[in-house]
Structure 1
């Protein structure tokens, strides 16, 4: 699988005391949608700034496209939006994009092509100042795509948008990814990462807590919701099973967390053999939110 970006032992210290990025390492492979997930101040934007050559690293290394290109040349194959969209307010959407084309030496035909892609072709003659925040963000994405980059980098792409704007940006990210562009986005929104990303890197206080596929993060052992006539006896019996980790009581039900995989029919049979008839049995997956909170609470 082709490697787009490799980050090794990256560190950034501001003013000799704020360790914003702590020994972070991960790889971005072609054709996936990656999310850097973490609360504000976790080092997401700093990490993106370093690999885009706008923030100087303290130590560590990164390389684009297996190191085949110098950073300056590699960044010509990268599209990025790391700040709020900034275009000329009295120029139209198309005029703004054509100006970017002129600066970057790109054919003007790309302006119309990308306006169509982001759903703004009908507003191509409207002045930028008349656009909603969501439309401005879509125009910024169009601008970042003018050079047909191999990877698109987005920092908090739905920040400040209303629900409709959020949905439009998410749908657009999925569309761009479906056409073969690798995407790396930073977000503090669990829902955003869960809905659009195939892979996730979790940061907290500059430290990397997890990296891998979203599916792998969600496919932890999960948990059961159980209820019987006597939950006290049920709880005592459950604790004797090797797969059971912890048990919480919630609204007359027992929430049973596992330390290894256990199927519902196996648990039901075990309890039946121990004289317990269940009134309620449901197996659930951990949500990304629960997984994230478990990671961050343990640090």
Structure 2
């Protein structure tokens, strides 16, 4: 496949959220001549986020897509080679590592930084997609602030859903929590906290039929999957907390991952089990999943890559 279309690069960065762009900024400043491929969603999850108020340095807040434009421009100004294209296959059996872009162009790299992120899992409702960013969110920590003093709903049954429900309960007047089965998957301590919080109401055996509102979330219609009865609840915000899927499938043959597909890194570093392959951002972080932590890990990956290349005499 395409040796004639191959290109040799020093540092290849796969993915373009805060982690990838920050890695590109640091790598370019260190004269590592990084090439960054933006992937299927240039800018990552922040491009489907509206107002970002918790990233330092923006006292008045900023729109997610605009912030990612700033990141990209800064990386480009430092000299990073930023390109459109999706990594579709890799071969990490020997160095230099091989990465195919859009199934045809072959890139060979001395070091690879994986920053492909994670994608929120959604319910798959048309109304959920239509109102995404207009009251529908997959991140309570990111967006809960905008619903202070309002009534909201959250769907999910695991520890993340429980944590987010508790977070929302401190900001919102009432939190309606929808659980598909008759019990939660969350740890016992998290379940106890949720059930002991007076302004969280748990609905068991409950499915979301539709999120209501022409231009913003105004309510939700739920259905009890045992009785088939429906109910409409007026709300201003609808949070989906049914998990995230790391975008790591093409690396699974080569890089160590946990059971859910998050790339495992050596604690305190961005190093993977393969020397010269580093991971940053949400593809290796299932705990924090914030723009600022992703950016920090992108910095770590670039510094780790620089030290690796120096030790190999390639920097």
TM range, normalised to the smaller chain? under 0.3
* TM-score, normalised relative to structure 2: 0.23
Higher share of residues assigned helix: 1
Q: If you compute each CA radius of gyration, which structure gives the higher value, 1 or 2?
A: 1
* TM-score, normalised relative to structure 1: 0.24
